[in-house]
Chain A
Amino acid sequence: VTYEKLRELISPYLDRELDLLQSVEIEAHLTTCPACALLPKRQQALGAVLPGPALVNAPPRSLEGSIRAALRREGPRARRPIWGVLAAAATLAVAFALFCRSSDEPLVSELVAAHVRSQLADHLVDLPSADQNSVKPWFNGRFNSSPPVNDFQGFPLVGGRLDDISQKESGSPRLPPPPARRELSSFGPEDTSRAGLEHRTRNGYELLGWSRSGLTYWAVSDLNRADLETFARLIQDVPAP
């Protein structure tokens, strides 16, 4: 084994991802190589620093004002393409638990957080597929139901993802319209108190919720509300199975 190869194995060794033989080999190397012996402490220090606040970049307070001022200067025509570029994803959630209106807030936060995480990790879908006949059975196999996974006009299906939200599994068929992407999640049974679309905003994301056929849906997006409503109506128009 070359020195470079040994060095590359130190990181997985510290993550306890190596088998016994490889671990013994790395342990022996660490006792004889002063340069590599420094790596465990460095990795430990990195692990401690990464989740901390020291690396979070807070935008200057003036940024929001300057963006709003620029949008006002450009006028309404220029806003649409800007939002079109920024628009990244909508998550539609089907809930299998009973959520009363007052309990929506933590759920909404979790939905947005899950959506943001999926973007940070550049992992919008677990199953990348534009084929409804693949995505629907994929959901049914992992979940006791599947939300509509139709390929809507302007919102092509890109796949599905399962998230664990509020300790309830949720599923996300993804439907991206060019240039934006859309996604769909599901969890819980119907909240019968709902009527029509329920609107929320959180951290700059638009959310629309509704219930139908025993399922509660949430759409999450950084598109504008009108576009998101169009998407929601398309989902609602799908005939019940």
Chain B
Amino acid sequence: MDFREAILLPEFEGLSYKEIAEVTDDPLGTVMLRLSRARPQVQRAILKRRGARP
């Protein structure tokens, strides 16, 4: 599971962490960690795109 999948599955597909773990065949801890790290990255990318500072 990459960071893109980590964001897409809960935010767009509405999957729970348990469902994501089943779909991606990753441990629940990995799902949590990926999403925790992916969200700040996406936030920074959005702010950068808008020309704002985080």
Contact = CB atoms under 8 A, between A and B. Distances in A.
A117 interface: yes
Interface string B28-42: 000011011101101
A9 B4 contact: no
Contacts of A46: 39, 42-43, 46
A12 B17 CA distance: 8
A122 interface: yes
Contacts of A12: 17, 32, 35-36
A121 B7 CA distance: 9
Interface residues of A, number: 23
Given A11-B32, A121-B9, A42 B4 contact: no
A15 B12 CA distance: 14
Nearest to B11: A50
Given A17-B17, A42-B43, A11 B35 contact: yes
Contacts of B5: 121-123
Interface centre among B9, B24, B32, B37, by most chain A C-beta atoms within 10 angstroms, is B32
B8 A55 contact: no
A50 B32 contact: no
Contacts, number: 55
Q: Is the interface of A mostly helix, strand, loop or mixed?
A: helix
Interface string A43-84: 101110111000100000000000000000000000000000
A105 B9 CA distance: 27
Contacts of A51: 11-12
Interface string A122-141: 11001000000000000000
B27 interface: no
Given A15-B17, A17-B16, A49-B46, A9 B11 contact: no
A11 to B, nearest CB: 4
Given A46-B42, A49-B46, A50-B12, A126 B33 contact: no
Nearest to B7: A50
B32 A17 contact: yes
Interface in A148-187: none
A240 interface: no
Interface centre among B10, B35, B36, by most chain A C-beta atoms within 10 angstroms, is B36
A121 B12 CA distance: 9
A92 interface: no
Interface string A90-127: 00000000000000000000000000010011110010
Interface of A: 7-12, 15, 17, 42-43, 45-47, 49-51, 55, 117, 120-123, 126
